[in-house]
């Protein structure tokens, strides 16, 4: 089924179709993302005191990365949380049955009732990345969304997490370094080697 993630109506139709086919939704992954390798802050000529460079600043730069990466994620998260919150408990779990760390701050145990919302951000969402200003801003916004909904969703039985991939030829080493930095960033706890 085709879905335009930048269209709220299109996403709503996708979720309603899934509900009609499967009866409920357990996991929502906001995975759509694009990168346009053009930096809107790089100009071919640097304006001086005259008119040079003025034509370039007159053109509005494309915001497709914001529309897909952030707006689409906001739509997916809003609709997804709506349906995940409707899920009923499948079994009574005691606090002893739940691993430590699954407890949302000040709330109930996340994920044991509603399900999971997984947001796909990027290492660029919390690391500086030259030439990727719009992409970085969009993926940083996804992490802001995570921080904005995580506690309340956890109180309602929905676990919210983010995955932050990156591209590299030395993937395993950098993944470990970035995972450590991301863990420290979100938890404030020092990573134990």
Catalytic residue (one of 121, 122, 129, 187): 121
| Residue 183 is a catalytic residue | no
Q: How far is CA 161 from CA 30, 34, 59, in A?
A: 11, 20, 37
The answer to whether 83 is a known catalytic residue is no
Active-site pick, 71, 77, 83, 135: 135
Q: How many alpha carbons fall within 13 Å on the CB side of residue 75?
A: 22
User: Would residue 127 show up in a list of annotated catalytic residues for this protein?
Assistant: no
The residue annotated as part of the active site, out of 139, 169, 183, 187, is 139
Place of tokens 């994620």: 73
Give the residue numbers annotated as catalytic, written as ranges.
Answer: 121, 135, 139
């Amino acid at each position: 089924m085709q879905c335009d993630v930048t269209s709220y109506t299109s996403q709503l139709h996708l979720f309603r179709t899934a509900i009609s086919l499967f009866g409920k939704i357990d996991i929502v992954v906001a995975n759509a993302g694009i990168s346009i390798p053009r930096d809107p802050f790089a100009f071919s000529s640097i304006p001086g005191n005259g008119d040079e460079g003025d034509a370039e600043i007159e053109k509005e730069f494309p915001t497709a990365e914001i529309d897909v990466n952030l707006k689409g994620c906001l739509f997916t998260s809003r609709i997804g949380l709506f349906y995940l919150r409707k899920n009923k408990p499948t079994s009574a779990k005691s606090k002893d049955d739940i691993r430590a760390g699954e407890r949302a701050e000040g709330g109930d145990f996340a994920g044991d009732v509603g399900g999971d919302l997984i947001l796909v951000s990027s290492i660029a969402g919390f690391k500086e990345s030259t030439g990727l200003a719009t992409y970085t801003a969009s993926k940083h916004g996804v992490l802001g969304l995570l921080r904005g909904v995580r506690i309340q969703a956890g109180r309602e039985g929905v676990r919210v997490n983010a995955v932050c991939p990156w591209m590299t030829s030395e993937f395993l080493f950098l993944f470990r370094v970035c995972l450590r930095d991301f863990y420290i960033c979100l938890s404030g706890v020092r990573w134990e080697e």
